[in-house]
Amino acid sequence: MIRVEAERMRDGLPAWTFATSGGPLRDGMRADGASVAECMGRALLRLRDAGLRVSPSDAVFRD
């Protein structure tokens, strides 16, 4: 799931959130960012750190 929260943006917090659970991520994972690009960049790094193979082409996001 990826979402943006206006309340977090208003409060000066990272507004974009990526969250996932299940499969190889039995405990789930969450990544936050100030922009969709930052959020997904952090999410992809965490997925790779968890041992998942992520294609380099998946890492191209634009605001």
Q: Where are the domains of the chain?
A: 2-54
Return the pLDDT at 58: 53
Distance separating alpha carbons of residues 6 and 26, to the nearest angstrom: 29
pLDDT tens for each residue of 4-14: 999 999 999 99
Specify whether the CB–CB gap between 37 and 60 falls below 8 A: no
Return the pLDDT at 63: 46
Q: What angle do CA 15, 50, 12 make, to 5 degrees?
A: 15
To the question of pTM greater than 0.75 for the whole model, the response is: yes
Sequence-distant (≥ 6) Cβ neighbours of residue 18 within 8 angstroms: 1, 2, 30, 31, 32, 39, 40, 42, 43
pLDDT tens for each residue of 17-60: 999 988 888 889 999 999 999 999 999 999 999 888 887 665 55
